[in-house]
Amino acid sequence: MTRATLILLLVLSVGAGGCGIAESLAGGGEVVRVYSGRHYDLEEAFEEFAGETDTSVEFLFGGDAELRERLRTERENTLADLFMTVDAANLEIAASEGLLQPIDSETLDEVVPEHLRHPGGLWVGLSKRVRTIMYHPDRVDPSELSTYEDLADPKWKGRLCMRNSTNVYTQSLVASLIAHHGYDEALEVVSGWVANETEIIANDIRILETIAAGGCDVGITNHYYLARLLEEDPEFGVKPFWANQDGRGVHVNISGAAVTLNADDPQLAGDLIEWLATDGQEAFVYGNHEYPVNPEIEPPPLIRQWGDFKEDPLNASEFAALNADAIRLMNEAGYD
């Protein structure tokens, strides 16, 4: 199959499934094909890989559920060598549905911490997304803050903003509470958030903007959304607080990748994943102000100033596997 024909087939398949627009970054004779549920800040990393390895990278973007359905439907006829997405639960669903194959890589075992990799090698985290407490520095003394669980205390009544229950990051945070405390105790925590008349907002940026405007005092968001706002306005009036530092550590989710079950070239797909975790790690994380999984790589400058933090060592596959329980719990608690 020629490269031109491959691109045409990608475009036709996109048109049939509504998954987005296929793109191609020219390299050499070899081609690695990526289905990506991560919709931004990939081009620079892929361009560097293509240039350094003389390999072409072809990719299309789509929703996570859409891409998984495409992989199920295409089966051995899939064009995808690599599946890339955000949130460990999305990767775990793909693994549980038999859409992935193990990556056997000593390099990844060395540079990616164990809790950010699937125990069976079916997927690997490539960047860290810290979901933590955000606060208005003029309305909250950081000494008042401590843990996710403490936000259920009545002292926060009418002062909280949080993301909606359908958001995968909210689901993963609640799933981590279940993993650490058990279902019943986690239900008490989430019910406490609800009892505090938490304002539910369907966008992390809007949560931060609401805090800055005084609409609430405290919220929970992914760290890089604050970094984006600070990049635009260094005086933006919200600060991060690393949750649970005297205990298990702050909740960390991932953006990650996996080799598809029916990849035409699983070795090349694995090579790309290894490169993104090593030589390409900076290019992968810096564009979105994410934290590197590779401890040898410094975090981007803007977030480096926030200092170090203790992170929850819970394996991402464990809270990902509790996703359905987290959804059920939030429904039971009346969390919207």
Same domain, 208 and 324: yes
Whole-angstrom Cα distance, residue 83 to residue 91? 9
pLDDT in tens, 105-136: 999 999 999 999 999 999 999 999 999 999 99
The arithmetic mean of pLDDT across residues 197-216, rounded, is 98
For residue 3, what pLDDT band results from cuts at 50, 70 and 90?
very low
Count how many domains the chain has: 2
Same domain, 47 and 142: no
Backbone dihedral region for residue 278 (phi beyond 0: left; psi -120 to 50: alpha; all else: beta): alpha
The arithmetic mean of pLDDT across residues 183-188, rounded, is 98
Dihedral pair phi/psi, residue 253, rounded to 5°: -105, -175
Whole-angstrom Cα distance, residue 28 to residue 57? 10
Element (H, E) at 49: helix 43-53
The arithmetic mean of pLDDT across residues 148-168, rounded, is 98
Same domain, 205 and 322: yes
Whole-angstrom Cα distance, residue 218 to residue 179? 24
Same domain, 109 and 124: yes
What's the number of CA atoms in the CB half-sphere (13 Å) around residue 336?
9
Whole-angstrom Cα distance, residue 46 to residue 57? 7
Same domain, 103 and 175: no
pLDDT in tens, 259-278: 999 999 999 999 999 999 99
174 DSSP assignment: H
CA distances (Å), origin 128, targets 58, 122, 124, 223, 336: 24, 18, 11, 10, 26
Percent of the chain with pLDDT over 90: 85
The arithmetic mean of pLDDT across residues 241-268, rounded, is 97
Same domain, 321 and 174: yes
Residue 318 burial class via C-beta count within 10 angstroms: exposed 0-12, middle 13-18, buried 19 and up: middle
- Using DSSP, state whether 39 is helix, strand or coil: coil
Whole-angstrom Cα distance, residue 199 to residue 139? 17
Same domain, 203 and 328: yes
Same domain, 319 and 192: yes
Same domain, 123 and 147: no
Residue 42: per-residue pLDDT: 78
Q: What is the domain extent for residue 262?
A: 3-128+254-301
For residue 1, what pLDDT band results from cuts at 50, 70 and 90?
very low
Is the model's pLDDT at 242 over the cut of 90?
yes
Q: What CATH code is carried by the domain that includes residue 133?
A: 3.40.190.10
Is the model's pLDDT at 4 over the cut of 90?
no
Same domain, 122 and 174: no
The answer to whether 10 and 20 have CB atoms below 8 angstroms apart is no
Tokens of 15: 């048109």
Residue 265 burial class via C-beta count within 10 angstroms: exposed 0-12, middle 13-18, buried 19 and up: middle
CA distances (Å), origin 276, targets 84, 255, 259, 292, 315: 12, 12, 13, 10, 21
Amino acid at 69: E
Percent of the chain with pLDDT over 70: 91
Same domain, 238 and 260: no
What average pLDDT does the chain have? Answer: 91
The arithmetic mean of pLDDT across residues 235-253, rounded, is 98
Residue 8: per-residue pLDDT: 30
Same domain, 180 and 314: yes
pLDDT in tens, 9-35: 343 333 334 444 345 454 556 899 999
